[in-house]
Amino acid sequence: MMIRYPSIIRILFPIAVLLFSFRVAEEYMLIKAIPFSGVRFTTDKLGNAYVIAENQLLEFDSKGNPLANYSEPNLGSLRMIDASNPLKLVLFYPDFAQINTLDTKLSLQSTVNLRNIGIIQPTLACNSNHLGYWIYDMQDFQLKKIDLNLQIQIQSGDISQTIGGEIIPNFLVEAGEYVYLNNPSTGILVFDLFGTYFKTIPLLRLKTFQVIGDQILYIEENRLMSYNQKIAMSKEIILPPHEALINARIEDKQLYLLTTTSLNFYSF
């Protein structure tokens, strides 16, 4: 059953054009709530949601209906999934320094062993929409780009020297013309597509975030916030009533809220 909530939202975004023009939305509509605890999730541009639950990947459509699942028990912990390209899902297993790519049916397309190409201690990996993958290598504190021929194409240099401090990043994503590397103690480090450090966004202690155009969506004190990179200011996105919030994402006219007890699908 779909549940309609009263008009409580004051800030929403027409994501379809990837620009955050503030407008009034009349209501959220709860489509489905799936009980989950202790999971992580992301979404793709088609509205599908991907949940990592006990090292298994579960896919749901925009209405919360199950689509497919994938599991690789012999590669250790599944650290990250990058669904920025819904036709090429990138899964990262740091214990074995391996990237697995999946198709739209969650069937294995290819594997990349990063140690075989000289990346010894990778701790983060994500897709590049410019043909390849971005890797953070803890061994030499560098952000590296490998191409589809599995050659190291770009190296950032020692990031700890660049920022003059400790670098222990926990999240990596390419969006638009930039690469975002989250270092919780200092903020989000932004690099261009040549691996050159550009700036630090002073959002501290984040675990994950979503980049849409010039906006960065993140969780702060049980609230969904939007940081405008052009004016360096944050605003709160008012949400429907929810329990303790772990993560939230927006795709087109869909809102996804992960709480301590469930993953909730909304339309607006």
List the domain range (segments joined by +) for residue 10.
1-35+211-268
Assess if residue 9 is contained within a domain. Answer: yes
pLDDT of residue 263: 98
- The residues of the chain scoring below 50 in pLDDT are 1-25
Assess if residue 249 is contained within a domain. Answer: yes
pLDDT of residue 33: 98
In Å, the largest CA–CA distance within the chain is 55
Q: Which residue bears the tokens 């360096």?
A: 232
Give me Rg for the CA atoms of the chain. Answer: 18
Assess if residue 255 is contained within a domain. Answer: yes
Give the number of domains in the chain.
1
- DSSP 8-state symbol, 20: -
Q: Which helix (H) or strand (E) holds 174?
A: strand 171-175
| This prediction's pTM | 0.91
Residue 12: how many other CB atoms lie within 10 Å: 20
Q: C-alpha distances in angstroms, 66 versus 42, 141, 246?
A: 15, 39, 21
Bridge partners of 191, per DSSP, are 179, 197
Assess if residue 222 is contained within a domain. Answer: yes
* Surface-to-core class of residue 244, CB atoms within 10 Å of its CB (0-12 exposed, 13-18 middle, 19+ buried): exposed
Assess if residue 88 is contained within a domain. Answer: no
Assess if residue 261 is contained within a domain. Answer: yes
> How far is the C-alpha of 38 from the C-alpha of 54, rounded, in Å?
8
pLDDT of residue 4: 47
Assess if residue 24 is contained within a domain. Answer: yes
pLDDT of residue 27: 81
Give φ, ψ of 60 to 5 degrees: -130, 150
Assess if residue 20 is contained within a domain. Answer: yes
